[in-house]
Amino acid sequence: MPLTLYPLATIRTHNTKENPAEKIGQLWQNNFAKLPQNEPYYGVYLNYESDFTGYYDVAVAQESKPEGSFLTIEIEDLTWYEIFPTTYESVVQTWQRIWNKEKQGLLKRAYKVDFEKYYPNGKVDIYISICPHC
């Protein structure tokens, strides 16, 4: 079942050649007020050059349709990580665990579309596209 998301803004970044925390933080800061209240919003990672060591796009997105473009995310072949407690540091630590699992050969990522889902109650889930049948 596809999930259709509507991006408000997108940037391109790199984990080692740039400061992605600063760029992504600025993306959120510039667009957070545009997100609807009381519904989930998303940080979407897509258009990967290769893997987490290459360039990729980051979008701030929502489920309700504003004016403009849309992005359809296929739900199939995703693995999911619930983050608790839901702090900035715990989100970063979860991404680091994901990268470490991949380096250890315990996770086969597809690098199609990954996303963080932020709920109004503060809960955060991370969804990672994985290689089917891996």
Please write the tens of the pLDDT for every residue from 73-100.
656 677 888 887 778 889 989 999 999 9
pLDDT confidence of residue 57: 95
What percentage of residues in the chain have a pLDDT greater than 90? 55
pLDDT at 94: 93
Instruction: Go through the domains of the chain in sequence order and give each one's CATH number.
Output: 2-129 (3.20.80.10)
pTM: 0.87
Query: How are the residues of the chain apportioned to helix, strand and coil, as percentages rounded to the nearest 5?
Result: 25, 40, 40
**Cβ distance 49 to 12 under 8 Å?**
no
Question: What pLDDT score was predicted for residue 64?
Answer: 80
Cβ atoms within 10 Å of 41's Cβ, excluding its own: 23
With CA atoms as reference, report the closest residue to 54 among 84, 98, 113, 14: 14
> pLDDT confidence of 68, banded at 50, 70, 90?
low
Least confident among 46-55, 59-68, 115-124: 59-68
What phi and psi values does residue 67 have, to the nearest 5 degrees?
-70, 140
